[in-house]
Amino acid sequence: MAEHDLAPHELRVVVAVEQARSFSGAARDLGLTQSAVSHSVRGTEKKLGAVLFERGRRGAVPTPAGERAVAHARRVLRLLETLAAETRAAAAAEAAGGGPCAPDGGTVAGPLRIAAFRSAALHLLPPALAALRARHPGIEPEVRVVRELGRGTAGEVADGRADIGIATIGTSSPIPRGLVGGVLVEEPYSFVHPAGHPAPRTLPLVDWAENCTSYTRDWWAGQDWIPRATTRTEDDGAVLAMVSAGHAMAIMPALSLTGAPPSVAVVDLGPARPTRSVGYVTTSEQAGSQVVRALIRELRALRAQP
C-alpha cells in the first residue's frame, strides 16, 4: 500500500486546476509550468488511485471523485492556515502575557472567510465584525456575498471556499450532512407597503428569487385575500425600492428591512406571522477553531442587543 500522503502543494495544484478548469490556466495562476501541473496531477491521481480530471480539448473538468477531492483539499489547506495562525497567536500571547497564560480565549488571529446572503452581509455582519475587530485586531475577515440559491452559502462552506456561512435554515434547507451549524435569530416577516397608501392590498405583490416562499406559504393559506398580481425581482433591495417608490407591497423578513426609508410602512403581522431562521453553517474542523468561535460569539451577542 502506498503510504504516500498528499503534500500541500499538490492540493493547491488540484484546487487551482478545478478553479481554472484547465491545466495550463492553473499553471499560470500558480506561477508554474504547465508541465509541472501535469506531472503533479498525475502523481496525485496515482497516489489516490483515482482519476480526478477528465482531460479534454477544452481543458480539464473534474470527475465526481475529483470534485470530492478538491472540496476536501480546500478544507485541508484552510486548516493548515488556521494551524499556523493560531499557533503563532498562542505563542505571541504566551510571550506577551507571560505566566501560565489563559489556556483559551487569549489572542485570536488569522483570516476568516465568511459567505453570507445579501441582507445578512449588509445588516447582520457589519456590527458583528466591528465588535470582532475591536476585540481581536488580528482577525482578518473577508465577506463574500453568495446568493442563497442552489447549495447556497452552505455549499461554499462544504466546498472549502468559506470557513463559515450565514444561511437561512429550515426544513426545506437543513444543515447539510457533514457540516455543523446553529440558529442565530428567528426573524419575523412583516407586511410592507408604500407609506400613506390608501389601499395597499390592491398593489401587486413583489417577491425575489432568493426568498424561500415556503416560509410564507402557510401564512398566505390562512389569509382571506390574495394579491392582485405577483412579480419577481432581482433581490430584496430591489423589492424595497419598488415598495418605497409606491409601486408594490411585499412580505419581507426583518433583516431585509433594516434601515428601510420612511416612505416604506412596515406592518407587524401579529402572532401568526411567518418567521424564518437565520443561522450559521461551518465545517466540523473549523467549528473548533478560535476565529470561527469568536465570530459566532459576536453574532450571538448581537441577538440580545440588535
Partner DNA sequence: TCGTTCCATGAGGCGCGCTCATGGTCCGGC
Partner DNA sequence: GCCGGACCATGAGCGCGCCTCATGGAACGA
Residue span 58-97 as binding mask against DNA, x where in contact by CB under 7 A, dash where not: xxx-------------------------------------
Amino acid at 154: A
Instruction: Quote the cell numbers at residue 89.
Output: 497567536
Query: Does residue 202 interact with DNA by CB under 7 A?
Result: no
Pairing mode of beta strands 275-283, 250-253? unpaired
C-alpha cell at 177: 450532512
Q: Choosing among DNA, its own copies, none, which partner's interface includes residue 39 (Cβ < 5 to 8 Å by kind)?
A: DNA
To its own copies, the closest distance from the beta carbon of 94 in angstroms equals 5
Residue from 2, 3, 29, 36 touching DNA (CB under 7 A): that is: 36
User: For its own copies, which residue of 31, 58, 64, 262 counts as binding (CB under 8 A)?
Assistant: 64
Note whether 77 and 68 are within 8 A (CB).
no
What does 36 interact with, of DNA, its own copies, none (CB < 5 to 8 A by kind)? DNA
Nearer to DNA, 43 or 204 (CB): 43
Strands (E), the chain: 53-56, 59-62, 110-116, 139-145, 164-169, 179-194, 205-208, 230-233, 250-253, 264-268, 275-283
- Nearest-CA neighbor of 79 among 52, 104, 110, 107? 110
Shortest Cβ distance from residue 57 to DNA (Å)?
4
- Choosing from 11, 18, 38, 125, the residue that interacts with DNA (CB under 7 A) is 38
By CB under 7 A, is residue 34 in contact with DNA? yes
Q: Which parts of the chain fold into alpha helices (H)? A: 8-20, 23-30, 34-48, 64-97, 118-119, 125-135, 152-158, 214-221, 236-244, 284-287, 290-304
> Residue 208 interacts with DNA (CB under 7 A)?
no
Q: What's 75's DSSP letter?
A: H
Tell which one of 47, 133, 201, 297 touches its own copies (CB under 8 A).
47
Position 5 contacts its own copies (CB under 8 A): yes
Minimum CB separation from its own copies for residue 197, in Å? 47
Q: Is 174 in the site for its own copies (CB under 8 A)?
A: no
| Beta pairing class for 179-194 and 264-268 | antiparallel
DSSP code of 175?
Answer: P
Q: Bridge partners of 113?
A: 142
* Cell (9 digits) for 239: 423589492
- Interface with its own copies (CB under 8 A): 5-9, 47-52, 63-69, 72-73, 75-77, 79-80, 82-84, 86-88, 90-91, 93-94, 101, 103-105, 177-180, 283-289
